[in-house]
Chain A
Amino acid sequence: MKAARTGLIVSALAMGLTSTSALSAELRFTIWTGNEAHLAMLNGFAESFKATHPDVTVKFETIPPADYTQKLTFQLAGGNPPDAGWMMEDAAPTFANAGVLEDLAPTLNSAEGYDFADFSEPALGLWTSGDTVYGVPFSTSPFVIFYNKDMFDKAGLEDPLALAAKGEWDMAKFQEVAKTLTEANGKWGFEFKDGQGYDSRIMHALMPPIRAYGGDVWANGECGFDKPEAVAAVQQLHDMVFKDKSIVPPGETGDYFSGGSAMTINQISRASLMPKAGFNWGIAPLPTGPGGESPVIGQAAIVVFTAGQQKELAAEFVAHMTNKENVATMAQFFPPARNSVLSSDAFITSNKLIPAEQMKIVADAIAKGKVLPSHEKSPQILAAMKPKIDALWRADANVEESLKAVCAAIQPLL
């Protein structure tokens, strides 16, 4: 009897001590990656969270990226929301405006040693509105050129990194090099990101050159595809695909990572594929153009869902996961948005696969880059754009007319 009473008192005390966290709670966190190294790192954060929340376990649930937003929506609509999750830039405005994302500001501002002001302001653009914080940048990853050094050597060309160092790596040089590479190697000179430039990654294919030429796809509710800068940029790509035949054309494959193309555009998280590729490689900045340097950034953040049962706890985990120490740990895979980490030597040397000299390019691009375009009606805009872009990628297409058609299709949605 006495023992029982003591037990009761002890548990009551324990409850009092841990009153800020729920007892033996489980947080469900949805993420796109199933990569073992990524998950091991994330589980490490879940483990260290136990220091302050001993009874809380965090379960990471992988949803493949192609269906991610859709399946997440089903979970939210079906009354089975995850507590927190990863979210890509193109979904941000839709979800924020729908009111399904929890404001993280109160938790982040009260978390000890968090220093929210450390986050680079441009990197927060999509995720904040006034004082409200809908998400914390998880990966702020610039697009870079991945090149196959062996193919450059075989063609007797200087590689993009060397050209960039001399200030000669521009759009004209890019076209010239791609053509020479194709002729010298019998492989494609360039492949759009993940070979999806005509399908799911239309924006990723068109954005870098359009920005290099000083244009934009849209801005302030106005379509930019039919502006002279964008037309010139897309005309160059079109020529490369159909005249030079140096870019993998629609309906063909030429995977860079298995040696099918000499160059591609991607993000450094893909460097994890390179050890298996079996050729010498490097990364370089995107070619500059008439618009100067214009790095493009792909971004994802972590968010907490309003519909979740354990919002406060989830927000506390987000604060833990994105504190200075953990952001520095993540930087090896996912480039950070914290200025303190970006400027540190630790970041430059964090990636075992990419030499420090090349990681500087990444840091530089994050500082100068602009996030990919996003819009509340992204899904509708992309769907309206798709058939017009299909028409653009015909050999006999008139680029300017096709881009005018793109604008006519999407302007009502902007």
Chain B
Amino acid sequence: MAANPAIRTAARDERAPRLTLKMREAMEAWLFISPTLAGFLIFFLGPLIAVVWYSLTEWNLLTQQATFVGLANYQDALLENPDFWHVVRNSVIFAIGLVPLNMALALSLALALSRRFPGVVFFRTVFFAPVVTSAVAWAIVWKFLLQGEAGFVNQMLDYVGIDGPNWLREPNWAMAAVIVTRVIKMVGLNMILYIAALQAIPRDYQEAARLEGASNWQIFRTIIWPLLGPTTLVIMVITTIGSFKVFDHIYLMTGGGPENGTLVLAFYIYQQGFQFFNVGYASALAMIMFVIVMVLTIVQLALRRRDT
């Protein structure tokens, strides 16, 4: 065990293949990311490819019988199944209702809460708290609050002389109710992103503008809003994707009802796959949803690029 560093180094140099620094760095990098990469391949990419394959089969989960049917599932969904377009329509309505409302509210809150004033942390916490609240508890509590006549919301409305609807029992009101309660739940996340972006804007710009006599609105429109552009894009993309993927909220509050008024795409996929056990059909629907979301994201990115 006599240690002679010089000899040892020489011996190693002879055995090891000669690696350039670059190669060695690359190898180390691969080594470091390999655990994540393995997870990604096994738990993400693998299933993703499997879904493509499943979508070409008629596969009953219970009987475990799968037959290759080509594009028949897609053909049925896109051309023959009237429910499918109703469901897509609901998803689009949900997104159109949710995304602008969420973003406008998040931005307003961020503008109000990005400055420092006593109690600001408290208010930020209040608006962020729903984000970390259990989705199940949130939906169940709102379901109680939104009951027909005995519900808290309608009793409050009653005080000011408004006869509130049976929120979760009338298709249009149910959709409005799930959108609004979802916005209140998730708006805190976007608010935080906006606050971070607002705080990153150097104060000098606004001060300079103010010295030049710019109004608050002018400062917002010509300085803040353009500088928030990248953040707005990110928020818009993730909120849109999130709104198409909404499931738990619908499942717990309305179960897709009433009269299929809140039956959105993600819930319909669940129904086909896990209630009717048509895994092949559900996979095809999931692929269609994937394409819809991807196209929307590309369009949003393209619009943004054109703007700048």
List chain A positions with a Cβ less than 8 A from chain B: 70, 73-74, 76-77, 94-95, 98-100, 199, 249-253, 379-380, 383, 386-388, 390-391, 393-394
Kindly state whether residue B169 has any CB partner on chain A within 8 Å. yes
Contact A253-B62, Cβ < 8 Å, known A70-B274, A70-B275, A383-B271: no
Given contacts A70-B274, A391-B258, 5 further A-B contacts (CB under 8 A): A77-B62, A95-B62, A251-B167, A390-B169, A390-B258
Contacts of B61 in A (CB 8 A): 73, 77
How many angstroms between the C-alpha atoms of A94 and B144 in the bound complex? 34
In the complex, what residue of chain B is closest to A72 when comparing beta carbons? B62
Give the CA-CA distance A253 to B258 in the complex, in Å: 17
Q: How near does chain B come to A386, taking the closest CB pair, in angstroms? A: 6
Taking beta carbons and an 8 Å cutoff, which residues of B are in contact with A? 60-64, 144, 146-151, 166-170, 255-260, 271, 274-277
Kindly identify which residue among B146, B166, B260 contacts A250, using a CB–CB cutoff of 8 Å: B166
Residues of A within 8 Å of B169, CB to CB, are 250-251, 390, 393-394
Contact A251 B62 (CB under 8 A): no
* Residues in A whose Cβ lies below 8 Å from that of B148: 249-252
Contact between B259 and A76, CB atoms less than 8 A apart: no
Complex Cα–Cα for A286 and B271 (A): 34
A95, B169: Cα distance in complex, Å: 33
Instruction: Determine the chain B residues whose CB is within 8 A of the CB of A94 once the complex forms.
Output: 62
Bound Cα distance from A383 to B271, whole angstroms? 9
A250 to B64, CA, bound (A): 38
Known: A250-B166, A383-B271, A387-B258. A73 touches B277 (CB 8 A): yes
- Complex: A99 Cα to B277 Cα, angstroms: 15
Residues on B with C-beta less than 8 A from A74 are 274
Is the pair B63, A379 in contact by a Cβ cutoff of 8 Å?
Answer: no
Determine if B259 and A391 form an interchain contact, defined as CB atoms under 8 angstroms apart: yes
What 6 A-B pairs come out closest when comparing CB atoms? A251-B148, A390-B258, A98-B62, A251-B169, A98-B63, A387-B260
- Known contacts A250-B148, A252-B148; decide if A77 and B259 are in contact (CB<8 Å): no
Which DSSP category, helix, strand, loop or mixed, fits chain A's interface? helix
The residue from A76, A379, A380, A386 contacting B257, defined by CB atoms under 8 A apart: A386
Rounded to whole Å, the gap between the CB of B137 and the closest CB of chain A is 16
Chain B residues whose CB sits within 8 angstroms of the CB of A199 once the complex forms: 255, 257
Let me know if B259 and A387 touch, CB within 8 A. Answer: yes
**C-alpha spacing A393/B171, complex, angstroms:** 12
Task: Write the nearest CB–CB distance from A231 to chain B, whole angstroms.
Answer: 20
User: Nearest chain-B residue to A253 (Cβ)?
Assistant: B147
Select which of B60, B150, B257 is within 8 A of A252 by beta carbon: B150
Instruction: Among A99, A380, A383, A393, point to the contact of B63 (Cβ < 8 A).
Output: A99
CB-nearest residue of chain A relative to B154? A251
Q: Are B62 and A76 in contact (CB under 8 A)?
A: yes
Contact check, B166 vs A100: say whether CB atoms are below 8 A apart: no
- Whether A253 and B259, one on each chain, are in contact in the complex, defined by CB atoms closer than 8 angstroms, is no
Total A-B contacts with CB atoms under 8 angstroms apart: 66
The answer to whether A390 and B62 touch across the interface, beta carbons within 8 angstroms, is no
Among residues of B, the one whose C-beta sits closest to the C-beta of A91 is B62
Query: How far is it, in angstroms, between the C-alpha of A50 and the C-alpha of B271 when the chains are bound?
Result: 42
Q: How far is the CA of A379 from the CA of B170 in the complex (A)?
A: 24
Bound CA–CA A391/B149 (angstroms)? 19
Closest partner residue, chain A, to B146 (CB atom): A251
Chain A residue numbers with a CB within 8 Å of B167 are 251
**Complex Cα–Cα for A249 and B61 (A):** 37
Q: How far apart sit A331 and B27, CA to CA, in the bound complex (Å)?
A: 68
Residue of A with least CB distance to B274: A70
Give the CA-CA distance A3 to B166 in the complex, in Å.
Answer: 81
Provide the bound-state CA to CA distance between A388 and B149, in Å: 23
Q: Which residue of A lies closest to B63 (CB)?
A: A98
Q: How far is the CA of A373 from the CA of B211 in the complex (A)?
A: 79
> What residues of chain B lie closer than 8 Å to A99, measured between beta carbons?
63
Residues on B with beta carbons closer than 8 Å to the beta carbon of A98: 60, 62-63
What chain A residues lie within 8 Å of B275 (beta carbons)? Answer: 70, 379, 383
User: A386 contacts which chain B residues (CB < 8 A)?
Assistant: 255-257, 260
Query: What are 16 A-B residue pairs whose CB atoms fall within 8 Å in the complex?
Result: A70-B274, A73-B277, A77-B62, A99-B63, A100-B62, A250-B148, A251-B146, A251-B147, A251-B169, A252-B149, A253-B150, A383-B276, A386-B256, A390-B258, A393-B169, A394-B170
> Which residues from chain A contact B258 at a C-beta distance below 8 Å?
250, 387, 390-391
**Residues of B contacting A70 in the complex (Cβ-Cβ under 8 angstroms):** 274-275
Chain B's closest residue to A384 (CB) is B83
Given the complex, which residues of B lie within 8 Å of A253, measured CB to CB? 144, 147, 150
Q: Using CB atoms, name the residue of chain B closest to A307.
A: B64
User: Which residues of A have CB within 8 Å of B166?
Assistant: 250-251
What residues of chain A lie closer than 8 Å to B147, measured between beta carbons? 251-253
Q: Which residues of A sit under 8 angstroms from B257, Cβ to Cβ?
A: 199, 386-387, 390
The answer to whether A100 and B150 have CB atoms under 8 Å apart is no
CB-based contact B62/A73 at 8 Å: yes
A379 to B62, CA, bound (A): 13
Distance to closest chain A CB from B42 (angstroms): 16
Q: Which residues of B contact A379 (CB under 8 A)?
A: 275-277
Task: State in angstroms the CA–CA spacing of A252 and B258 once bound together.
Answer: 14
A412 to chain B minimum Cβ distance, whole angstroms, is: 13
* A382 CB → nearest B CB, Å: 9
Shortest Cβ gap from A259 to chain B (Å): 15
Establish whether residues A380 and B276, one from each chain, have CB atoms under 8 Å apart when the complex forms.
yes
Complex CA distance for A379 and B276, rounded to whole angstroms:
6
Contacts of B60 in A (CB 8 A): 98
With a 10 A CB-CB cut-off, give which of B63, B144, B147 has the most chain A CB atoms.
B63
List B contacts of A388 (CB < 8 A): 259
**B258 (CB) vs chain A CBs: closest residue:** A390
Contacts of A391 in B (CB 8 A): 258-259
Assembly CA distance A95 to B277 (angstroms): 11
Are A100's CB and B260's CB within 8 A? no
CB distance from B163 to the nearest CB of A (A): 13
B61 to A: closest C-beta gap in Å: 5
- Taken together as a complex, chains A and B put the C-alpha atoms of A251 and B150 apart, in Å, by 9
A387 nearest CB across to chain B (Å): 4
Give the nearest-CB partner of B275 in chain A: A379
Among residues of A, the one whose C-beta sits closest to the C-beta of B260 is A387
Q: Which residues of B contact A387 (CB under 8 A)?
A: 257-260
